[in-house]
Amino acid sequence: MKARFCLILALAAGVPALATPYWIAWEGDDFPENQGWTRNWGNYQGQYQGGAYRTLEDGILTYDSLYDPGVFDGSFVQMPGQIDPDPGELLVVEWRLKVDDLVGWSQYDPALAVKSDEAWVMGLGFGVEQVLSVFEEGVSAAIKPGVFHSYVLRSPDMRTYELFIDGQLALQGVFVHRAGKSYVGWGDAVQGGASLHHWDYFRFGVVVPEPGSVALLGAVIACCGRRRA
C-alpha cells in the first residue's frame, strides 16, 4: 500500500497581501493555529477525525501518532500569488526537528511542503535516519538519529532548491508542477506512517541577501526575522 501525503487537504482563506521581503515565523510560543496558521488533521475515517497527540512544552511541539498510521496532523498558510521571491531575492524556509520513532510502511511521516504561485511544489519527508524529497526519485540525505537537526531550505526561482542540514549543503533538487494554490505547510503529514517527532521552530519568507554572499544569509534572516502578527 502506498503512503498518502496529506499535509494539505483543506482550503483556507487567503492571508493579507504581503510585500516582499516578508517573514512568517512560528517560535513555539503557542500552538500554530493560535498564531495565524490553519490546522488540518484527520485519519482513515476522514478529515477532522482523530489527529495526533500534541503537546507543547518549553517551546517544543511534539506530535505522537504512533497509535494510528492513518493519522495526519499539520499546519499551513495558504498564500495565493504571494509566496514567490522576485529576481535577486531568495525564498528561505528554516526549521529545527527531531524524529524519535517511525512505524508503518512509509519511509517518512513528519514532512513539509512548499508550493509556488505558479503551482510548482517541493516536499521533504523525514525518517529517523534520513531526509528525502517527496516528489523526486532517489533524492535523499542521511541524518544522525535521535537528535535535533537545524534545516535551511532556499530557492531563488521556485524551480530549484538547496537544503542545508546543520549548516552543510545536503540536498539539491527541483520543484515539480502540481495543480493548486501556493502554500507552505508542515507537521505529521502522511497516512501510512506513524511517528513521534518534535518541532522547535518553523519560519519562512523572502529575503534579499548580499550579492554573491552565502555566508551572510544567516545574518539576513536574523534581520528579517520578525514574527507574524
Query: For 185-221, what is each residue's pLDDT tens digit?
Result: 999 999 999 999 999 999 999 999 876 544 444 444 4
**Entry pTM:** 0.86
For the chain, percent of residues with pLDDT exceeding 90: 79
Residue 23 pLDDT greater than 60, yes or no: yes
Give residue 14's pLDDT band: very low, low, confident or very high (50, 70, 90). very low
Mean pLDDT of 12-27: 70
Handedness of CA 27, 3, 12, 207 (dihedral sign): positive
Mean of all residue pLDDT scores within the chain:
88
Q: What is the pLDDT of residue 6?
A: 60
Q: What is the pLDDT of residue 227?
A: 37
Q: Is 185 exposed, middle or buried (0-12, 13-18, 19+ CB in 10 A)?
A: buried
Domains annotated for the chain, with CATH where assigned, are 22-224 (2.60.120.200)
Q: What is the pLDDT of residue 170?
A: 98
**What's the number of CA atoms in the CB half-sphere (13 Å) around residue 184?**
24
Q: What is the pLDDT of residue 222?
A: 44
